């Protein structure tokens, strides 16, 4: 398992916490920024992490902004990305099991540091269930190809 991680300024501290957890779990991590709490635009980091996932440099991605919402919106504009905002272990697990999310978006301002390890473990260890969910993911893939 390899992980790409990125944040904006609002998610910087939680990103650093997650990097420490990944290191403790011996999971390789590519940090794609931000490098500090200086103001930064979250779409840039969403694009970088999504690119790493799509290129195969990372198996999963983690994006951190104030709420996770902006990061998920930006990442989901990129075909092939299924970014889910997660807020607890159950949402992280279901994002993988039912939606085959390849990126977890989480809020630095809305997530307690003490909850992060369980959320992270759920996201990284849960496998996609397939089956009845395959048809739904196929419909999402069709939406990505529609001209609007």
Catalytic residues: 65, 98
- How far, in Å, CA of 51 to CA of 70, rounded? 17
Count of other CB atoms within 10 angstroms of residue 114: 8
Q: What residues does 88 pair with on adjacent strands?
A: none
Structure tokens at 34: 């931000």
Q: Judge if the upstream peptide bond of residue 119 is cis by omega within 30 degrees of 0.
A: no
């Amino acid at each position: 398992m390899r992980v790409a991680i990125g944040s904006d300024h609002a998610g910087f501290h939680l990103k650093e916490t997650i990097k420490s957890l990944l290191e403790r779990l011996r999971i390789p991590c590519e940090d794609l920024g931000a490098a500090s709490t200086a103001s930064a635009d979250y779409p840039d980091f969403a694009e970088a992490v999504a690119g790493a996932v799509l290129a195969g440099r990372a198996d999963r991605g983690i994006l951190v902004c104030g709420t996770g919402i902006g990061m998920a919106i930006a990442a989901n504009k990129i075909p092939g990305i299924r970014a889910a905002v997660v807020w607890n272990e159950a949402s992280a697990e279901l994002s993988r099991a039912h939606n085959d999310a390849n990126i977890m978006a989480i809020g630095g301002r809305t997530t307690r540091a003490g909850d992060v390890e369980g959320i992270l473990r759920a996201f990284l260890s849960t496998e996609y269930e397939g089956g009845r969910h395959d048809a739904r993911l196929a419909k999402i893939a069709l939406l990505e190809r529609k001209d609007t």
